[in-house]
Amino acid sequence: MFRTDEFATLYVFDPLRKLFGGGRGVPALMYHSISDAPEHKAHPYYQTVTTPAAFARQMAWLHRNGFSTVDSSGIVDAAATAVRERRIAITFDDGFRDFYQHAFPVLSKYGFKATMYLPTAYIGETARTFKEQECLTWNEVRELHQNGIEFGSHTVTHPQLASLGPDAVRYEVDASKKMIEDRLGYAVKSFAYPYAFPEADRTFTDRLRGFLQEAGYDNGVCTTIGTVQRTADRFFMKRLPVNSCDNDSLFEAKLSGSYDWLHSVQYISKLLATSKARASWRKPRIA
């Protein structure tokens, strides 16, 4: 299948970056499921499943090319002090159990750190199901934490936060953090925003930042595309979506910053959607 994002990245923006240079940020990879489950999304851009074989190949590439990993707190620090060093963050959303089965052994093989973001309503003493997939149990979470995996909050119920009122947003942010802290006995520092991040809605993002600070978070990541630059907002750090469809050339281009161009397209799309929504709110209703 032809991919506009891949073509533009490899044949337009990657050559331009190599020709003119530019500051390289720290890549934060965004994974979800590591499994052989069939992917129902038609276009590779939207897929969130990475096969164990593809994940192992990508981690081997990072190791072979001298990358070292940082945790969530170290992403902005690395961008500010070591922009051109081979630092990377590896993150996982949704708390799927296949992380324990397929990703963790590969990460351990190379001594890589990773951060897993948990939607706490789906983490139990026995395996619960989220998006038709089994999630980690608290015993597995504790075992992974004891072996160096960082855990952060991905809300309680994984809602569209921008559609909720302030009290409900505060609950999702606070209760998920406290649940993980109670179960693991350490301070949760990082938060991952579920679904598309509404960066064009400054009123909402400013309010959310305040809630995160009040709850005691130190940083956060979202689904906005890009590498993390030294000027990044540490509560809404960009990430790079990765899945089985990324060949080595595209994977390398993403890490180098050549995929960052897509953020402009993403932002304009969100800005237009926000403007359209506001216009519909202001339209007078006919009784």
Q: How far apart are CA 119 and CA 123, in angstroms?
A: 7
**Count of structural domains, the chain:** 1
* Position 162 pLDDT exceeds 60: yes
Q: Are 173 and 157 within 8 A, CB to CB?
A: no
Q: Which long-range contacts (CB under 8 A, 24 or more apart) does 3-7 make?
A: 3/43, 3/44, 3/45, 3/245, 5/45, 5/259, 5/262, 6/44, 6/250
Lowest mean pLDDT among 40-44, 92-96, 238-242, 263-267: 40-44
Q: How far apart are CA 14 and CA 4, in angstroms?
A: 14
Containing domain of residue 97, as a range? 4-282
- Angle in degrees, CA 130, 132, 138, rounded to 5: 40
Q: Are 251 and 242 within 8 A, CB to CB?
A: yes
The model's pLDDT over 113-145, given as tens digits with 9 standing for 90+, comes to 999 999 999 999 999 999 999 999 999 999 999
Tokens (6 digits) for 248: 């080595």
- Give the domain CATH number at 161: 3.20.20.370
Lowest mean pLDDT among 14-23, 42-51, 270-279: 270-279
Residue 281's pLDDT is 43
The model's pLDDT over 231-266, given as tens digits with 9 standing for 90+, comes to 999 999 999 999 999 999 999 999 999 999 999 998
* Position 67 pLDDT exceeds 60: yes
Q: In the structure, what pLDDT confidence band is assigned to residue 282 with cuts at 50, 70 and 90? A: very low
* H helix runs in the chain, sequence order: 4-8, 14-20, 52-64, 74-81, 98, 104-110, 138-146, 166-184, 202-215, 248-256, 262-282
As a whole number, the mean pLDDT across the chain is: 92
Q: Are 172 and 211 within 8 A, CB to CB?
A: no
Q: In the structure, what pLDDT confidence band is assigned to residue 285 with cuts at 50, 70 and 90? A: very low
> Is 287 a domain residue?
no
The model's pLDDT over 71-85, given as tens digits with 9 standing for 90+, comes to 999 998 888 875 557
Q: In the structure, what pLDDT confidence band is assigned to residue 43 with cuts at 50, 70 and 90? A: confident
Which residue type occupies 189? K
> Is 79 a domain residue?
yes
Residue 130's pLDDT is 97
32-46-246-34 Cα dihedral, nearest 10 degrees: 20
Q: How far apart are CA 222 and CA 122, in angstroms?
A: 20
The number of beta carbons lying within 10 Å of the beta carbon of residue 21 is 8
End-to-end CA gap in the chain: 49
